[in-house]
Amino acid sequence: MTPRSRAPLAIRPHIAVDMPQSAMVLAAGLGKRMRPLTATRPKPLVEVAGRTLLDRALDRVEKAGIATAIVNAHYFADQIDAAVAARRQENPGPLAIRVSDERGQLLETGGGITKALPLIDADPFFVINADNMWIDGSTDTLRLLAQRWNPDMMDALLLLVPLARASGYEGRGDFHLDPNGVVTPRGEFRIAPFVYSGIQLISKQLFDGEPVEPFSMWRAWNKAFATGRIYGAVHQGLWFHVGTPASVGETETLLATA
């Protein structure tokens, strides 16, 4: 395979593209940093400007023309079930929503995806963190990832946000990104210029042989790093990390002026 450093066309966009038809929305976490709002409900059911984070994520999936969304549930799982049922009744549109039940054990991101694989019909498929919100740029964000997907070179394509534009984010950045779309972790550097948005397009291959047990997304990503098959694309619109009670009001203010 051509070395990554000499692959300038790796993420050339394809204007005509078949959209992957499954997206997993991660909604099982405990939401500890969002307390006290999550004392009686899961974080994906926290409302921002009158709409829950879960509904906002599902709205984006439906808008992109994706056929199926898989939502995992652990913390206050009955409330996730009820929210999905209510959405189906109020909005019986083309989006089919399936729930991956993690009541028995919280599996973290990697384990949650592994458990949900039998419900995921597409390969590659989207993964979306429910506590992140975004506004599209000139292109639908999920379609942008699909346009840049290259199955000959990729097992993971991460949507990245410049650190300076990461509203509500309080960390030091996650990744470096070169002009060819090659992603490297922050590593020993104090700051990295890009933040992982919580949105990615990923291949089922990274979960081959994985047991259904708690593990982070990094176990799968490290496989892609080892083979040089992980890339990044920069988000063109606005992005908001809604991780604390204070960030809810901050995000609502920014949305009102966007």
For 198-242, the pLDDT digits (tens) are 999 999 999 999 999 999 999 999 999 999 999 999 999 999 999
Name the CA radius of gyration of the chain, rounded: 17
Residue 205 tokens read as: 């291959």
Q: Is the pLDDT of residue 6 over 60?
A: no
φ and ψ of 53, to 5 deg: -60, -40
Return the ∠ at Cα 62 (arms to 56 and 65), rounded to 5°.
150
Q: Is the pLDDT of residue 13 over 60?
A: no
Cα 108 → chain centroid? 14
Alpha carbon distance 73, 134 (integer Å): 22
pLDDT band at 170, cuts 50/70/90? confident
Query: What domains lie within the chain, and their CATH numbers?
Result: 19-257 (3.90.550.10)
Q: Is the pLDDT of residue 112 over 50?
A: yes
Other Cβ atoms within 10 Å of 234 Cβ, number: 16
Q: What is the pTM of this model?
A: 0.91
From the number of C-beta atoms within 10 Å of its C-beta (0-12, 13-18, 19+), residue 166 rates as buried
pLDDT band at 11, cuts 50/70/90? low
Reported in sequence order, the residue ranges of the chain that DSSP labels E, i.e. its strands, are 22-26, 47-48, 51-52, 68-73, 96-101, 125-129, 132-135, 156-162, 166-167, 175-177, 183-185, 194-202, 230-234, 238-241
